Amino acid sequence: MKTLSRIEIENFKLIKHADVAFDGCGLYYVGGVNNDVPQADSNMAGKTTFLSAMTFALYGCDLTGVALTANAIKDGERTCTVALTFDNGTT
């Protein structure tokens, strides 16, 4: 079994850049703060987009199974990248 050890995201939907390392097996909390609209609290902070990026890297689709194409690229950017690294070093 492979364990996810790191995710790197560039220009995927709302996320400009994210680089998250996981310390091992376990349960992780995905939280967020909307800095653009503070009164929105954690709404539209990128939590679902973060999980969608993982699905995109693994299967080429979003969380609902819809294939992602140019709509996955952050507005104003030309490309996006999502890289998953597993405990055995594979990406």
CA–CA gap between residue 75 and residue 7 (Å, rounded): 21
pTM: 0.81
For the beta sheet containing 15-21, the strands, ordered from the edge strand earlier in sequence to the opposite edge, are 15-21, 4-12, 81-86
The DSSP symbol for 68 reads P
pLDDT (0 to 100) of residue 91: 66
pLDDT in tens, the chain (91 residues): 788 899 999 999 989 999 999 987 788 888 887 777 777 777 777 888 999 999 999 999 888 888 877 888 888 999 999 999 998 767 6
CA–CA gap between residue 49 and residue 39 (Å, rounded): 20
